[in-house]
A and B are shown apart, each in its own frame.
Chain A
Amino acid sequence: RKEVEQDPGPFNVPEGATVAFNCTYSNSASQSFFWYRQDCRKEPKLLMSVYSSGNEDGRFTAQLNRASQYISLLIRDSKLSDSATYLCVVNRGGTSYGKLTFGQGTILTVHP
């Protein structure tokens, strides 16, 4: 079983749609959680951190359920520029420093 699992998609949605991605992780010792974005296999870029209380950044909302070991990302009012691969990422924290575990990514295509 992969340590971080995501539905690879692809998700094809029209502009303005709301889309949700899910992710599960297997290591209960994981302490930090993130969503990264990767365009056309360029470098991954941090989209947002994910906190237990849930957090929002503009059109993006992230949720974490530690009991279920489940992470989600909601994108509202999708834009063409949101087309990318979204990577669910976990970190064990503590002495695990920048050793991140990436999911394989969910591909999103937003069309006119």
Chain B
Amino acid sequence: NAGVMQNPRHLVRRRGQEARLRCSPMKGHSHVYWYRQLPEEGLKFMVYLQKENIIDESGMPKERFSAEFPKEGPSILRIQQVVRGDSAAYFCASSPDPGSGEKLFFGSGTQLSVL
């Protein structure tokens, strides 16, 4: 049973480009969470999705960021017109139900670097 798969592991973008980060949850998990870790900071919640629905996006920046979790395929975190401040590690986690910290499984993350 594969764990949470994120790709790419490393993503380099120039300012103004778009970044698309993908997350495939563990088999049987229909709840996906995205977290961001800025340099020298702790992880910050961004968004919680279930299949085809955004449940909580209270941690998402108001502009340029969007997330989806379609019926088929991975969850996508999309960042338009990236800026240097978007450089961070982006972690996805999944769980079999709304759950709590005991049931969250994290992917290895995508390190986004904006030049």
Q: A: which residues have CB within 8 A of B?
A: 4, 32, 34, 36, 41-46, 49, 87, 89, 91, 93, 95, 97-105
Tell me how far the C-beta of A52 lies from the nearest C-beta in chain B, rounded to whole angstroms.
15
Could you say which residues of chain B place their CB within 8 Å of the CB of A93?
Answer: 100
Closest-by-CB residue of B relative to A33 is B101
* Contact between A45 and B106, CB atoms less than 8 A apart: yes
Asked if residues B31 and A98 are in contact (CB atoms below 8 Å), the reply is yes
Given contacts A41-B37, A44-B106, A98-B48, contact A32 B43 (CB under 8 A): no
Say which residue of B40, B48, B100 sits within 8 Å of A91 (CB atoms).
Answer: B100
Q: Tell me the interface secondary structure of chain B in the complex.
A: strand
B43 CB contact (under 8 Å) in A34, A42, A102: A102
Cβ A101 vs Cβ B45 within 8 A:
yes
Cα distance A47–B55 in the bound complex, in angstroms: 27
Q: Are A98 and B104 in contact (CB under 8 A)?
A: yes
- Whether B48 contacts A32 by the Cβ 8 Å rule is no
B108 touches A97 (CB 8 A): no
CB neighbours (8 Å) of B106 from chain A are: 43-45
B33, B41, B104, B107 — most chain A CB neighbours (10 Å): B104
